[in-house]
Structure 1
């Protein structure tokens, strides 16, 4: 297994997307009713595996459309032009994409490049006057994240982060249940995220490009999941790092980190992020009046979950389709998901991960 993308894909089970029949359009964009409103016209930057997944998912969108590409590989641009009917005038490379400033046919750019490139690319997109959608982690640390937030505010454009789980039906149902008190006071969250990473030469194991190892790549799901399932922001973290293969996982690339978070109510979280263990994709939360377990909790295919009330049975809908339609609603109609997907949300996760790395390095408790 070579990467987080492979890991999530292998967790997936092929399924035909089903229409949403149970949720208001204010939460989910995909619905049966015809849509005749404004379309968010998107250029994808970074035409790798996940960029392809997003492009394919967008073919089912009603409010968002793929109209452009940005890549450093000419052959990929040519392939995408043919496959997705993208006009030549909407194709750019990493050197000349600032010219999108003069292209009225592009509203937003979805940045799906290695983490270490996000900050500067996002700032350039913002200066070009286009909305920024950035894959998570939004940046490699909070300092870069703050620069991105400030740049987008200065340019008066939106900065959104690819938190697809914030649109996933079963996840949203769990958040709704927590918000309406069906679990009582949340007390404990456990998040297990991990896989065995493959190719040692890939960018995820390059500190400059990735910004870290398993924690920043897949541990972010547990950090974010703890926050939306407990409904609070952590006030302290502790962490411990284990490394069994210092050749493959060089300095600055974490192999396994276990981390704990404490919250104002007294709730606690215990999480694991790893590149060296299989079959780890589970969230669990318990409260005074109920509990929820999700396994798989973050894979691309059908999420499975159960609560004290029984199985979660919301239909599977391609996450990225929901995400892109939901972001179009947010940009054009101001409709917010139950959990934010903006730059401030991404910055919160980055600050927590910075603290986790510090705690793992020092062995102490780090206050937030």
Structure 2
């Protein structure tokens, strides 16, 4: 593809976007949209990603992969999906032959991410994978390797890193407008509502530390701009009859270079949605810090971080689509997801050892 683009540039040919193959004419304002296939039609795809795709500028919903035949006519009526763009888990590898689809988005239980992300990569399509990236760091590496082998881009669905106020926090980790960062509190969790049954199964990557904890861990990393060097953690449950395989609540401490300490917490039994950063000369926070909308904050000198008006998932998918179209690095690559899961594994290990401090 790069050789073809170079040829076009050097020859000075003017070709309309309709004559160019994917990814289209990069010089045209009428850029071809990328076709996205959603793998898994549960709550997140149904209530959030599919509606968000109707608000994107650079991608659109064109395909589905599902093991529930009864969902197919509903999705086809709602989104105009062609029969040829409907797949199940046994034949999704055939997407390799479908020019309508450019991106395969894995939206399955965490324990299934590696299997189907690798199948997706082997089709030669670009891969978007929901967070948490996978159940183990080794599975994350397998996904990364499969995407590299097939020459496709891999992006992890950390929508917060595409959100305006979160990006401000990330920038401040570099510029330090309030002086050296000293302490961070990073908390994400919820109480009430129905918990999807697979989130209670260890083999599926269930538990608060995977589902909500990666928000706390990822925020700890992007709010400091550093990687942790030590961790200690404890886990508990108030409802052992429900949480007999996985954690209900995890409390952890991450040690970062420069003496920075991050106190983290995640839970299925407590409402938590807070990121606080204390510095030498002031402080700032996001509260809520990981809601689907309304992320807002404040600083010690009175600055107000007002909520972003755009749909977070739409912004995320457009950013990832543009990275593909323009052949630029994605904002949240597989390596970022891998780092979080490596920390999750150490947190679980520390908790199993009674809170022992472990090096990272």
Using the size of structure 1 for normalisation, the TM-score is 0.86
> Hey, what does 1:333 align to over in structure 2?
326
> Hey, what does 2:118 align to over in structure 1?
123
Cα distance between partner residues in 2 of 1:201 and 1:325: 28
Q: 1:214 to 1:325 in 2, by over 3 A?
A: same
> Hey, what does 1:156 align to over in structure 2?
151
RMSD, aligned α-carbons: 1.6
> Hey, what does 1:56 align to over in structure 2?
51
Q: Is the 8 A contact 2:96 2:124 kept in 1?
A: yes
The higher radius of gyration belongs to 2
1:229-308 superposed matches below 5 A: 229-251=223-245, 253-277=246-270, 279-308=271-300
Q: Is the 8 A contact 1:200 1:248 kept in 2?
A: no
Q: Is the 8 A contact 2:163 2:308 kept in 1?
A: no
Q: Is the 8 A contact 2:294 2:307 kept in 1?
A: no
Shift of 1:155: 1.1
Task: Name the SS for the 1:293 alignment partner.
Answer: strand
1:221-232 superposed matches below 5 A: 221-232=215-226
Cα distance between partner residues in 1 of 2:29 and 2:263: 43
The total of aligned residue pairs comes to 330
1:102 paired to 2:97: yes
Runs of 4+ in 1 over 4 A off after TM superposition: 197-201
CA offsets, 1:65-94, max 9 Å, x none? 111111111121211111111111111011
1:39 paired to 2:41: no
Q: 1:312 to 1:200 in 2, by over 3 A?
A: closer
Shift of 1:276: 1.3
Shift of 1:37: 2.0
Q: Which shows bigger deviation, 256-265 or 181-190?
A: 181-190
CA offsets, 1:248-293, max 9 Å, x none? 1013x1011100001111101001111112x311110112233211
Using the size of structure 2 for normalisation, the TM-score is 0.88
Cα distance between partner residues in 1 of 2:195 and 2:128: 29
Task: Name the SS for the 2:108 alignment partner.
Answer: coil
Q: Is the 8 A contact 1:169 1:316 kept in 2?
A: no
Cα distance between partner residues in 1 of 2:52 and 2:253: 35
Select 1:315's aligned residue among 308, 312, 317.
Answer: 308
Gaps in structure 2 of 5+ consecutive residues = 1-27
Determine which structure has greater relative contact order: mean sequence separation of CA pairs < 8 Å that are 6+ residues apart, divided by chain length: 1
